[in-house]
Every structure is written in C-alpha cells, then in structure tokens.
Amino acid sequence: MKRTFALILAAVAAIVLFVGLVHAVLVAAHVSEPAATTVYGLTPRRLWATTVAVLGLFGVVIGGLALRRSAGRIGTGNGNGRMGAVMALLAGLIAVVNGALNLAIAKGGPGSGNGVVGGAAALVLGLIAMVLGGLALVRRRKVMTHDR
C-alpha cells in the first residue's frame, strides 16, 4: 500500500513538473498568452507538433528502458542497451529541433492553431530523452570498462 501511494505521488509530481516546464518554455518563447480567437480542429502545425511530441515521448520511454537495462547485466553483451540509448538520443534530438522550430515560427499562443503547446511539450520531452539516452551510454561504458 505504501509503495503504491509513493508511486502515485511520484507520478503526480512528475506530471506537475512536466506541465511547469512546458509553461516555462511557452513563456520563454513569448507565446504563453492565449489566442484572441480559438481555432478548433487539427491544423497542419498541430499535427506536426503532436507528431514530434509523440516522438519525444517515445524517446523518453526508450531512454528509460535503456538506462534501466544498462544498470544491470542484462543486455550489456549484445549491444541492446547501446542501441536503445542511441535511439533515445536521436529521437530526443529530432523532437527538440522540431519543437524549437515550431515555437520559433509560431505567431500566436495556445488556441491559435500553431501547435505551440505540442511544440513546447516536444522540446521538453526531447531534452528528457536526450538526458536519459546520454546517461544510459555513460553508465553502459562504465559497466563495460568495469567488466574488462
């Protein structure tokens, strides 16, 4: 029961931190003010931002799995830990670049149809994915050099 409560509390804290980081990115990009007129539906920029945000989330998941795999001995001999770390770095880099590009060309804030919330989410998720992938690579190198 205590472990379940701790996991729920950690998940809520992570969500609050994520939302705070996305808002900070929107403020830094000067697109945090809501649009005067709201555009409903899927626009090309919203689709672009959503796609890269999903790619960033994919990178976070793969980076977390690669980091977990590099901590133990599972997967260190066959290269799977390294491949996951590289995939997380690549997915994170793509998400960061596209999220920043989306924010750079946006003309309005949330509700304008420019996908600024998705772009900010992609930027944050991409950075997290890159950090996790980098940590997995470093940890894997330490394990590999320690085994020699």
Give the DSSP letter string of 55-95: HHHHHHHHHHHHHHHHHSSTTTTTSHHHHHHHHHHHHHHHH
Mean pLDDT on 43-58: 95
Spell out the domain ranges in the chain: 2-147
pLDDT in tens, 12-31: 999 999 999 999 999 998 88
Report the alpha-carbon angle 121-34-41, nearest 5: 70
pLDDT band at 91 (very low <50, low <70, confident <90, very high): very high
The packing angle between helices 116-147 and 80-105, to 10°, is 160
Question: What's the start-to-end Cα distance of the chain, in Å?
Answer: 42
What is the distance between the alpha carbons of residues 56 and 95, in angstroms, rounded to a whole number? 5
Separation between Cα atoms, residue 40 and residue 123, nearest integer Å: 23
Q: pTM of the predicted model, to two decimals?
A: 0.84
pLDDT digits (tens, 9 = 90+) for 92-126: 999 999 999 999 998 888 988 899 999 999 999 99
The tens digit of pLDDT for each residue in 72-81 reads 554 445 555 7
Specify whether the CB–CB gap between 119 and 56 falls below 8 A.
no
In angstroms and rounded to an integer, the radius of gyration of the C-alpha atoms of the chain is: 18
